[in-house]
């Protein structure tokens, strides 16, 4: 992708995530100036006699959605109803992920994956590849060509899965280092490499320790799964008898810290939540996946009252959609079930700026403000959606009537007009 775009001015209704709380400032008729470097140069109210035409009549603009947890090699098994977790991995996931040693297959799915992100207005994603370094390289190249933003990890597995998807610790960590050398920081930080142990059960202690050491040495982000399903919890406790609890498994191997992003966190104890907070870890909340696999309901309040950084994740293919808006709706339902309601507005904030914070990209993206990179989406709303509450309700719950129309990353249009 070209690093520069022509300067342009967006005129329209713009939702600006607030930096101080999970809410938006609504600008009814704004001018957003985008510079040749793809950054927002200015945001102001359009004057009464404004000569700039409305960019996309009927649309509301907001920062691109940030998917904090998605599996590229599960694109074609999205919605496979073979759960719960461990059965679903064995039946639907591992056989599919084994196919990604075939570069042509990986390349075809990578194109589908990027197209699916764009179709749903996702401009940035934290992605698990398969355990195959070649497939991971193919995915990076596809994301680069598509102009998308994200971090990607080779999924580390050296035990607890079929031979076809295992890679021993030494070659796996060497492959991570090579991929990081090639892609981490690519295109002024648009792409990054993320150290990605699948979960504790799929990794030997040596691999977990090696992954942590690599992340420390190269200052790389880390992502993994945590406390998703009761059978997984029991198996993890049996596999790591010296660790006090599930969070301690990762802590004991050096994987906790501000660079770490943990998906699910459904069954944590108060002490485990406290440990995550003490280490400033981030959380990817994946309620649609949790419903689909019958994993349970993450107590969102436990994370928020400890001021943990929380983004939303589709967790495709246990999640049944690439739409962060649908995940926001699932999070709304999950919050009701857990006894603590949350507004659609707050959840859409977690799907944008909250996700950027979880990935530690909130100095670059997630806001519509001067200096931020212009990652923007336009959703086309019916004309009767006027007042503030209706706006957020429509974005979260009326997706059939409010399609994603246009998608920009760093000021460059990737989809729509």
Rounded to a whole number of angstroms, the minimum distance from the CB of residue 263 to Zn ion is: 5
User: 97 vs 315, which CB is nearer to Zn ion?
Assistant: 315
> Which region among 19-27, 84-92, 209-217, 311-319 touches Zn ion (by CB under 5 A)?
311-319
In whole angstroms, give the CA distance from residue 9 to residue 30.
10
What is the nearest approach in angstroms of Zn ion to the Cβ of residue 417?
A: 34
Sign of CA dihedral 356, 362, 364, 365: positive
For residue 207 the two structure tokens come to 């691999």
Name the residue whose CB lies closest to Zn ion.
315
The encoded tokens of residue 411 equal: 């000021």
Judged by CB under 5 A, the stretch of 142-150, 267-275, 276-284, 313-321 that binds Zn ion is 313-321
Is 288 a binding residue for Zn ion by CB under 5 A? The answer is no
Stretch that binds Zn ion, among 171-179, 199-207, 244-252, 309-317 (CB under 5 A): 309-317
Tell me 238's DSSP state: H
User: From the CB of 315, what's the least distance to Zn ion, in Å?
Assistant: 4
* Candidate segments 97-105, 114-122, 310-318, 406-414, binder of Zn ion by CB under 5 A: 310-318
Give residue 80's Cα distance to chain centre. 21
Smallest distance, Zn ion to C-beta of residue 391, A: 31
Nearer to Zn ion, 10 or 263 (CB): 263
Binding footprint of Zn ion, residue count (CB under 5 A): 1
Of 315, 345, 362, 373, which one interacts with Zn ion (CB under 5 A)?
315
- b/e string for 143-168 if b means 16 or more Cβ within 10 A? bbebbbbbbbbbbbbbebbeeebbbe
User: 319-348 mask for Zn ion (x: CB under 5 A)?
Assistant: ------------------------------
Nearest approach, Cβ of residue 157 and Zn ion (Å): 13
Measured torsion, CA atoms of residues 372, 378, 384, 388, in degrees rounded to the nearest 10 = -20
| 384: nearest Cα among 393, 375, 371, 376 | 393
Composition of the chain by helix, strand, coil, percent to 5: 40, 25, 35
Interface residues with Zn ion (CB under 5 A) are 315
């Amino acid at each position: 992708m070209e690093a520069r775009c022509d300067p342009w001015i967006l005129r329209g209704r713009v939702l600006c995530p607030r930096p101080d709380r999970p809410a938006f400032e609504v600008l009814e008729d704004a001018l957003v100036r985008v510079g040749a470097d793809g950054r927002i140069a200015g945001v102001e109210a359009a004057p009464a006699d404004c000569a700039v035409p409305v960019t996309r009549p009927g649309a509301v603009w907001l920062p691109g959605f940030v998917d904090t947890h998605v599996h590229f090699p599960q694109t074609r098994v999205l919605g496979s109803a073979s759960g719960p977790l461990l059965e679903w991995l064995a039946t639907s996931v591992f056989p599919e992920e084994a196919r990604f040693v075939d570069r042509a297959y990986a390349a075809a799915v990578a194109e589908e994956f990027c197209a699916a992100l764009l179709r749903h207005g996702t401009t940035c994603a934290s992605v698990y590849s398969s355990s195959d370094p070649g497939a991971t390289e193919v995915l990076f190249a596809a994301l680069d060509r598509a102009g998308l933003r994200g971090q990607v990890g080779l999924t580390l597995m050296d035990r607890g899965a079929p031979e076809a998807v295992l890679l021993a610790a030494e070659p796996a960590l060497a492959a991570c280092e090579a991929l990081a050398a090639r892609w981490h920081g690519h295109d002024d930080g648009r792409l990054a490499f993320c150290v990605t142990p699948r979960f504790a059960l799929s990794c030997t202690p040596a691999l977990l320790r090696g992954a942590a050491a690599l992340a420390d040495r190269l200052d790389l982000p880390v992502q993994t799964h945590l406390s998703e399903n009761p059978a997984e919890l029991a198996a993890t406790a049996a596999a790591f008898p010296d660790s006090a609890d599930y969070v301690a498994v990762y802590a004991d191997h050096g994987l906790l810290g501000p660079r770490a992003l943990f998906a699910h966190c459904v069954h944590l104890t108060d002490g485990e939540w406290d440990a995550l907070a003490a280490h400033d870890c981030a959380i990817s909340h994946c309620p649609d996946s949790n419903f689909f696999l019958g994993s349970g309901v993450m107590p969102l309040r436990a994370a928020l009252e400890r001021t943990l950084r929380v983004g939303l994740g589709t967790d495709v293919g246990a999640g049944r959609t690439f739409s962060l808006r649908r995940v926001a709706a699932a999070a709304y339902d999950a919050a009701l079930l857990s006894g603590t309601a949350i507004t659609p507005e707050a959840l859409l904030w977690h799907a944008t700026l909250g996700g950027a914070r979880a990935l530690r990209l909130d100095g670059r993206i997630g806001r519509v403000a001067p200096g931020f990179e212009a990652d923007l989406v336009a959703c086309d709303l019916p004309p009767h959606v006027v007042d503030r509450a209706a706006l957020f309700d429509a974005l979260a719950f009326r997706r059939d009537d409010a399609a994603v129309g246009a998608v920009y990353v760093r000021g460059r249009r990737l989809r729509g007009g």
